[in-house]
Structure 1
């Protein structure tokens, strides 16, 4: 399993920059993705996937004991859809 530190180390080694610069670079990329998704926009990365937010409607929760119904408010959830080419590449492993 890879973690964020592995991504930072890989970026540092590939670009020949310091660990702090690589950390800053990765943090800025993650914040950019978060900003796009918070605005309700999609981010499409060719041959990888699409980051987007999906709006979920209100849900009804039934309490059997009290015979009451409680509504939860609508909300947005993050979602990623991988590209077909990426899926095919992973399936070959």
Structure 2
């Protein structure tokens, strides 16, 4: 599902105009980015948490030049689903067509 599909589905279920749904979703996405970039976490009961994880400094390798590169410590955004969310997804029997299935070998 793409963002446009999500907007259409929300608009159909709620009766809110698509433009208003788009503005609301964009505002939510922007707020999540802003809050996480300030080092704070967002907790949404029954859905999950948007958190920042700290990655330790390490030595990487540029394989083209075969040179060691120091990668400084940094933070990355992450999402941790709530238990209720995980339980609903576990009930899923198949992956819909067009979706990658991680269980299948390539």
Q: TM-score range by the shorter chain?
A: 0.7 to 0.9
Gaps of 5+ in 1: none
Output the TM-score relative to the length of structure 1: 0.82
Gaps of 5+ in 2: 93-106
Count of matched residue pairs: 91
Q: Point out 4+ residue stretches in structure 1 off by more than 6 angstroms.
A: none
Q: In structure 1, what is the Cα distance between the partners aligned to 2:67 and 2:26?
A: 45
**Structure number with higher relative contact order (C-alpha < 8 Å, ≥ 6 residues apart):** 1
Structure 1 pair 30–63 and aligned structure 2 pair: CA distance change class (3 A): closer
Q: 1:1-93 alignment to 2 at 5 Å?
A: 2-61=1-60, 69-93=68-92
Instruction: Report the CA distance between 1:11 and its aligned residue.
Output: 2.3
Output the TM-score relative to the length of structure 2: 0.73
